[in-house]
Structure 1
């Protein structure tokens, strides 16, 4: 199984991709509520999240990365804290992230 297929099947299932642009195949944009579910599912599977982008009016509003928090990409403390900080400072944004699914998970 490929990473994109795993994400669609196990992480993004039943969530609405709000990206309607040309790159909608590669970038999944989620509402605040849906992205919170994405983060919970990523934590459950131990998926790495390298960065989180918040979007406003089809433009990137802010980008944060695990390096900014000096944490591993698989450590949920960094991405939960980053998400909480962004959503409280600016409600109503859309969110995307870059993920890393381990080969062990893909082999299942």
Structure 2
């Protein structure tokens, strides 16, 4: 496994170069309670997932800013709702019925 410095060196010597990060549209549902960032009160798995995806997007934006002078792009994308995850398993029935199968999504 490469270290971050090794990866950055490889990116700088490649052209074009970029980093792609998987995010999710669920980030729009993220709500931060700055007094309880660790969810010590009322843990909510969907809210935790939404927060993690919002943090992923913030990371990608910061990475893009830091790599701009090196002409290395950083982007994130939303792959859609993937029915093979625990998030899907725990979703309400009405949500599960509206989601396309993996084959339909492909």
- TM norm structure 2: 0.27
Larger Cα-atom Rg: 2
* Structure ranking higher in helix proportion: 2
* Structure ranking higher in strand proportion: 1
- TM norm structure 1: 0.26
